Amino acid sequence: MTVIAPGVAARFRPGQFVAVAVGGPETSMLLRRAFSIHDVRPDHGGAVEFVFAVVGPGTRWLAERRTRDSLDVAGPLGRPFPLPRDPVNALLVGGGYGSAPLFPLAGKLRSRGCTVDYLLGAASADRVFGALTARRTGRTAVITTEDGSLGARGLVTDMLTQVIHETRADVIYACGPMGMLRQVSSVASRYDLPVQALVEESMACGTGVCMTCVLPVIGDDGVTRMVRSCVDGPVFRGDLVRWDDVGTIPFDALGAPGWKPRAQPKPPPVASAGRPDTARPGVARPGRARAAPTAERPGHGR
């Protein structure tokens, strides 16, 4: 779906998202829906494009909007992808419609002289997002589907080791289902490759108030904290997320029942290829725009 939101388009950085109110002014659906931004065009009236799949009454209502209808859109929200300081070989790994935020990132990477390779996959050919764009703009593009209807048969992670070797990747950027991100981080750790993972956690407010999108992440001091995906993320270092404990509060997380401070090993520094320009990129200030849809296309939303 494409909306006109000049304020969002002007401040957007790859990896950020929008939170859209659904149902209209008299709806009982009070919670916004969060969607990763796929593309912005500030020089085309401030167009903002996001991708979602119809999975419930909120996204069904959104899919029924027509040209010149008004939407309540807040954004851009969240921390963006950190960018490498020097030109590197960047491998972009996406699962399903979760691949959408990787394409504006690819543009930023190429503008810095980085080489971009893609590894995209989904359950079937109709669920793969951006395959043609990846083949057109990437040095290489490997596609996988679980049913073999497009590209190689299997999961994205089945091809990951081979693609890492073939592309000589220096850093991995990934977005997709949590299980995929867990596997990508695990494989990358064998090669000491930094991973920047955009998580797909359910978000209710998008501004850090409701605490529904928390997940356990190891801090710079070695202490695990329950952090909010919407304001502390949605992009995290893959080696710092405790993937096996997502959906729970680990007993040793700060503030957990019976928690006592104890020494923990500090996380290793990020390899130079994946180190961002700043250690902690700033949080984008949420803005609010009245936007009118100009086109619709099916896709994926958190």
Show which of 171, 198, 225 is a domain's final residue.
198
Round the average pLDDT of the chain to a whole number and report it. Answer: 87
Mean pLDDT is highest, among 256-265, 270-279, 287-296, for 256-265
What's the domain count of the chain? 2
Please indicate, yes or no, if residue 255 is contained in any of the structural domains: no
CATH number at residue 150: 3.40.50.80
The residue-averaged pLDDT of 98-118 equals 96
Do residue 38 and residue 132 come from a single domain?
no
Show which of 167, 198, 229 is a domain's final residue.
198
Do residue 129 and residue 180 come from a single domain?
yes
Do residue 111 and residue 194 come from a single domain?
yes
Top pLDDT among 301 and 17 is at 17
Residues 6+ apart with CB under 8 A from 132: none
Dist. CA 216–CA 227, nearest whole Å: 6
8 Å CB contact between 187 and 157: yes
Show which of 179, 198, 217 is a domain's final residue.
198
The pLDDT of residue 28 is 85
Model confidence over 37-78: pLDDT tens digits?
999 999 888 999 999 888 889 999 999 999 999 999 998 999
The residue-averaged pLDDT of 109-120 equals 96
Whole-prediction pTM? 0.83
The domain containing residue 64 runs over which residues?
2-78+284-295
Do residue 146 and residue 191 come from a single domain?
yes
How would residue 114 be classed by pLDDT, with cut points 50, 70 and 90? very high
